């Protein structure tokens, strides 16, 4: 039996360490904790959250730090705490069970399990006293424990039903390939959900939903209907001027609690900012806008300045998140009063307050969340506002900062690397490509196993969580993004290693993939298997994208077969096809991608101009190859044998396995890549 004490002090996760001083006898998830529950025949209280989660902090202060509540937990349960960012597989497993119970998900996730890990009941946040029609947490603890102890029929029914449900969702399936009709139907459904005034999807709270908007953006190039493009432009415009954006330090918060992007839930996540950076790039390539360029530069500045994790050997990757709370208050670090602004800016305060909605009464609970409410002014006016922002930023830097979760997650870094590689080309910032390369090399050097697998989490000099499918997929796509942006063949080799690792350890045998590896020893019930995109794109959709890109980069039909297998495995359920926009985007990429081959010496400025044009295309379904000689391409590629024309570099645009005439002018190439029609 493990010692009757809180064992989280032995962990490295910032979230788990936040709870290391609780009087609760917490254990970390793993075989030892599950064995302890089985030996004692006690139910498990499973609590899942993450470091930047505001309501996780609230429940911790109200319940987990309370000695009486902790004593009750210790007497009745084996208490297990999980960082959902370290173990998204465990989080997905039990969040799916909660949804199957008809409950709304969220964090903190609070689940009650039998000793073998089978869930029988759960919820999210529970208050310390009965309120809002919800029982108190202590009442819930006593009721669930009594139901388990007395072998209540509901417990028996729920454990069996939920186990069968999870096993069904994990069962491999295969169906037909997605068709243009599927893509049309899903796109139209999402377009009907558009908020035509404030952008994004209708209602509150309002999330940016990058996988959905990336699909809509790409689909607009397929159909020639600009509605999806207009929808993304509107959202980026409104978000980038709203309170969800940090106008002083750069970066976007996770979501807005209202319908107008004013009041954020103040935590900042690497994954959101990575995906939004990529979308800013596509939007700028399509319709250049100084706002997009400024927000991209500021967001990358925040990533480099505030989100660089530990350095080893001169290389570093990106940290996971920044908290919503500081000094025990949500948003305290970010908000202002009119008095503060007046004192700091003096004569410049009037113009700044008008531009950023600063008033005596404030716009949120008596305080002001900065948001841009005026149109851009003259260069002199904008320069004065920039100086004012710098003054406020320097003052804000003196405040107690929100906590930072500085663990390195391979999948989130993969998203950041891909976005930086794309944005570096579109916004003409080659140093961003250097940051992307450094992050990739950090993960490859410190988080990859000898068998080629990328491990999931790293902190304080060691790997802290095993690799998942999303890690292999996101890092493989990052490697391909670096290969296209730089031409360095080593990145293509790295991508192939990661793909082989994904196929070896995560394949379901019929073209699909499990989330967890075949040798995972601490996943009860069924191995999770899902392609549904949430705030981050799901691993199967990214794998289908990787397969499709490899097909267009190499011309090898084997990659097409693999891509089709993955598409069939996860697009079979017509009722849920709207939940897999990543799969649908990969289907379009496979069928309709534009392959651009730039033939000629890359050191030739004319070749570089063609590469810049190709790498700055607004359509995500464009892949780029370099060919220094006519036989440099794989024999299966449709441009094999094509080279420079009269010793001058040339670009070949290939669609549906047919290449057009050589293009020598970068402007003409940009025009051709601006549309598929």
> Quick one: which H or E segment has residue 3?
none
Q: What tokens appear for 326 in the block? A: 């500081």
Alpha helical stretches, state H, 448-513:
469-486, 489-506
- Name 459's bridge partners: 462
Decide which of 1.50.10.10, 3.60.150.10, 3.20.20.300, 3.50.50.60 is the CATH code for 180-324+404-592: 1.50.10.10
Residue 153: predicted pLDDT: 78
DSSP 367: B
Residue 631: predicted pLDDT: 76
Q: Is 9 helix (H, G, I), strand (E, B) or coil?
A: helix
Q: By the 8 A CB rule, do 630 and 643 touch? A: yes
| Proportion of the chain in helix, strand, coil states, percent, rounded to 5 | 50, 15, 35
With CA atoms as reference, report the closest residue to 582 among 629, 531, 632: 531
**Separation of alpha carbons 455 and 446, rounded Å:** 9
pLDDT lower than 50: segments of the chain: none
**Separation of alpha carbons 497 and 252, rounded Å:** 33
Complete DSSP assignment for 525-557: SS-------SSS--HHHHHHHHHHHHHHHH--H
Q: By the 8 A CB rule, do 323 and 51 touch? A: yes
With CA atoms as reference, report the closest residue to 141 among 63, 40, 53, 65: 63
Residue 512: predicted pLDDT: 94
Q: Could you report how far apart the first and last alpha carbons of the chain are, in Å?
A: 68
Say how many C-beta atoms besides its own lie within 10 A of residue 2's C-beta.
14
**Separation of alpha carbons 543 and 569, rounded Å:** 12
**Separation of alpha carbons 495 and 101, rounded Å:** 40
- Contact residues for 357 (Cβ-Cβ < 8 A; gap 6+): 363, 368, 369, 370, 371, 372, 373
Residue 302: predicted pLDDT: 98
- Name 27's bridge partners: 80
**Separation of alpha carbons 244 and 369, rounded Å:** 9
Burial class (CB in 10 A: 0-12, 13-18, 19+), 215: buried
Residue 574: predicted pLDDT: 67
Residue 84: predicted pLDDT: 95
Say how many C-beta atoms besides its own lie within 10 A of residue 289's C-beta.
16
CATH number given to 8-170: 3.40.30.10
**Separation of alpha carbons 289 and 615, rounded Å:** 18
Residue 646: predicted pLDDT: 78
φ, ψ of residue 637 to 5 degrees: the values are: -75, 140
Q: Summarize pLDDT for 373-421 with one digit per residue, the tens.
A: 999 999 999 999 999 999 999 999 999 999 999 999 999 999 999 999 9
Q: Specify the pTM.
A: 0.94
Q: By the 8 A CB rule, do 322 and 328 touch? A: no
- Contact residues for 329 (Cβ-Cβ < 8 A; gap 6+): none
- Contact residues for 340 (Cβ-Cβ < 8 A; gap 6+): 395
């Amino acid at each position: 039996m493990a010692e009757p004490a809180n064992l989280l002090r032995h962990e490295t996760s910032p979230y788990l360490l936040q709870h290391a001083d609780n009087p609760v006898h917490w254990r970390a998830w793993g075989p030892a904790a599950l064995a302890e529950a089985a030996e004692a025949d006690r139910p498990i209280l499973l609590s899942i959250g993450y470091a930047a989660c505001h309501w996780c902090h609230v429940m911790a202060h109200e319940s987990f730090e309370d000695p009486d509540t902790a004593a009750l937990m210790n007497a009745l349960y084996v208490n297990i705490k999980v960082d959902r960012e370290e173990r998204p597989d465990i989080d997905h497993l039990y969040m799916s069970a909660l949804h199957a119970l008809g409950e709304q998900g969220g964090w903190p996730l609070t689940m009650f399990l039998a000793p073998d890990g089978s869930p029988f009941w759960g919820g999210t946040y529970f208050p310390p006293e009965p309120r809002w029609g919800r029982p108190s947490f202590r009442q819930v603890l006593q009721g669930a424990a009594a139901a388990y102890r007395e072998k209540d029929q509901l417990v028996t029914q729920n454990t069996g039903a939920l186990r069968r449900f999870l096993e069904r969702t994990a069962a491999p399936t295969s169906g037909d390939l997605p068709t243009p009709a599927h893509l049309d139907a899903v796109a139209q459904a999402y377009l009907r959900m558009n908020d035509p005034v404030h952008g994004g999807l209708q209602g509150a709270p309002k999330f940016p939903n990058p996988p959905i908007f990336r699909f809509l953006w790409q689909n607009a190039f397929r159909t020639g209907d600009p509605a999806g493009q207009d929808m993304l432009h509107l959202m980026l415009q409104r978000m980038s001027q709203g309170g969800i954006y940090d106008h002083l330090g750069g970066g976007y918060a996770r979501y807005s609690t209202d319908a107008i992007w004013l009041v954020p839930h103040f935590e900042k996540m690497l994954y959101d900012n990575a995906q939004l950076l990529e979308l800013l790039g596509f939007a700028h390539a399509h319709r250049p806008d100084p706002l997009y360029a400024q927000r991209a530069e500021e967001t990358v500045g925040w990533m480099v300045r505030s989100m660089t994790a530990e350095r080893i050997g001169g290389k570093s990757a990106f940290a996971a998140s920044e908290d919503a709370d500081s000094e025990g208050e949500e948003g305290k670090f970010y908000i202002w009063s009119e008095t503060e602004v007046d004192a700091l800016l003096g004569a410049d305060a009037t113009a700044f307050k008008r531009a950023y909605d600063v008033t005596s009464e404030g716009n949120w609970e008596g305080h002001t969340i900065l948001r841009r409410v005026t149109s851009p002014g003259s260069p002199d006016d904008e320069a004065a506002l920039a100086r004012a922002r710098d003054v406020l930023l320097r003052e804000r830097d003196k405040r107690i900062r929100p906590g930072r979760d500085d663990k390195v997650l391979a999948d989130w870094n993969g998203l950041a690397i891909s976005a930086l590689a794309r944005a570096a080309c579109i916004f003409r910032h080659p140093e961003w490509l250097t940051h992307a390369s450094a992050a990739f090399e950090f993960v490859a050097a410190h988080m990859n196993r000898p068998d080629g697998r990328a491990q999931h989490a790293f902190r304080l000099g060691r790997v802290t969580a095993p690799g998942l499918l999303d890690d292999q997929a996101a890092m493989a796509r990052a490697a391909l993004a670096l290969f296209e942006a730089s031409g360095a063949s080593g990145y293509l080799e790295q991508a192939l290693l990661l793909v082989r690792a994904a196929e070896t350890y995560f394949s379901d045998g019929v073209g699909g993939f499990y989330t967890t590896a075949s040798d995972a020893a601490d996943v009860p019930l069924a191995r999770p298997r899902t392609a549904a995109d949430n705030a981050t794109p799901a691993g199967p959709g990214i794998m289908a994208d990787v397969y499709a890109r490899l097909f267009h980069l190499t011309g090898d039909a084997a990659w097409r077969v693999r891509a089709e297998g993955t598409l069939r495995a996860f697009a079979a359920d017509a009722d849920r096809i709207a939940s897999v926009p990543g799969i649908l985007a990969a289907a379009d990429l496979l069928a309709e991608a534009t392959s651009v081959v730039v033939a000629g010496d890359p050191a030739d400025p004319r070749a570089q101009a063609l590469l810049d044009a190709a790498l700055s295309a607004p359509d995500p379904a464009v892949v780029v190859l370099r060919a220094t000689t006519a036989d440099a391409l794989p024999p299966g590629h449709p441009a094999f044998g094509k080279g420079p024309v009269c010793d001058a570099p040339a670009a070949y645009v290939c669609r549906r396995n047919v290449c057009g005439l050589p293009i020598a002018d970068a402007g003409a190439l940009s025009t051709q890549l601006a549309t598929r029609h």
